[in-house]
Structure 1
Amino acid sequence: MGLFNALAGNLQKVDENQLQQQYGAFLFDGEQISSGYQLIRDAVLFTNIRIIFIDRQGTTGAKMRIKTIHLDSVVDVEAETAGAFADDSEINITYLADVYQRKSGEERLETVKLEFPRKFDISPIYRYLGQLALSNRARINGK
């Protein structure tokens, strides 16, 4: 859970070309990075297929743990904008943790929180994820 603890800090936007150089080897065929954010050594990448969490471990950061949330499993998103003082902005993403459980009617939901600096405009990310969640809910519920 080191990555999720690290996400309690503030993510900073990183150029997609830089992210492609660093993490391109871990992308699936046809997958493209649309945006990415970094906190010290850890990173969060948004691609056309999934959200990728990179957790660099150890003192050198050479060891990495890669976690994926597939975009088709996102079912809800919440946003909290920063206040007037030292508050940060945050986005909470709720997703189906095990899509195979859905068939038995025992869905397991998990949430991950992303925190951004106070002056960072989270509205494009929120709108993107919200529209995605809306589409996924319609598909899941057969509407």
Structure 2
Amino acid sequence: MPGISSGIRGDANLLNLREIPVANIRPELTMFLIPGENITQAFQTIRDQVVFTNKRLIVANVQGITGKKVSYTSYPYSKIQYFSVETAGLLDIDSELLLAFSNGAHLQLDFTSNVDIKRICANISHMVL
């Protein structure tokens, strides 16, 4: 899964998550929202999307050649045990966010260098702490 992994990195900048307007999210993602849940940020690779809300993050993983098969995963902030971030550098042009959950699962998100990773961390901190 480019840009989104459980330890596997997408090295090509095109495969890393870039911020998109909330209006550009996959329409079906809104059906997962509950009353009072609002989208705060959205990101996309070539086909996959990650949506941060005020309650959780939702990952849409588009699969197959046609892209008709989509896997949706919800990660509630309440289940985050810890997270770490690595900002973009001179030679490493992407930034990474690693989230660890209470069930032992890990989620690594790779972002393009122009994404404000510190803002993402501040939002997660606000929701978790």
After TM superposition, the structure 1 stretch with the greater mean CA deviation from structure 2, 116-125 or 4-13, is 4-13
Distance 1:7 1:32, change over 3 A: farther
Structure 1 residue ranges (4+ consecutive) displaced by more than 6 angstroms after TM superposition: none
Residue 72 of structure 1: how far off its partner (Å)? 0.7
- In the alignment, is the contact (CA less than 8 A) between 1:7 and 1:39 conserved in 2? no
- In the alignment, is the contact (CA less than 8 A) between 1:57 and 1:64 conserved in 2? yes
Residue 60 of structure 1: how far off its partner (Å)? 1.5
Q: Which has the higher contact order (CA 8 A, sep 6+)?
A: 2
* Aligned residue runs from structure 1 range 34-73, under 5 A: 34-73=40-79
Compute the TM-score of the two structures, normalised by the length of structure 1: 0.74
What's 2:31 paired with?
A: 25
Paired AA for residue 117 in structure 2: I
Question: In 2, distance between residues paired with 1:50 and 1:120?
Answer: 19
Write 1 or 2 for the structure with the bigger share of helix: 1
Identity between Structure 1 and Structure 2 (%): 28
Instruction: Quote the RMSD (CA, aligned, Å).
Output: 2.3
What's 2:106 paired with?
A: 111
Question: In 1, distance between residues paired with 2:79 and 2:105?
Answer: 10
Question: In 2, distance between residues paired with 1:20 and 1:59?
Answer: 18
* Aligned residue runs from structure 1 range 73-92, under 5 A: 73-92=79-98
Residue 26 of structure 1: how far off its partner (Å)? 2.8
Structure 2: unaligned runs, 5 residues or longer? none
Match of 1:123 among 115, 118, 123: 118
SS in 2 for 1:89: strand
After TM superposition, the structure 1 stretch with the greater mean CA deviation from structure 2, 52-61 or 22-31, is 22-31
Paired AA for residue 43 in structure 1: Q
Distance 1:20 1:43, change over 3 A: closer
* Larger Rg over CA atoms: 1
Question: In 2, distance between residues paired with 1:13 and 1:23?
Answer: 16
SS in 2 for 1:37: strand
Distance 1:34 1:7, change over 3 A: farther
User: How many residue pairs are counted as aligned between the two chains?
Assistant: 123
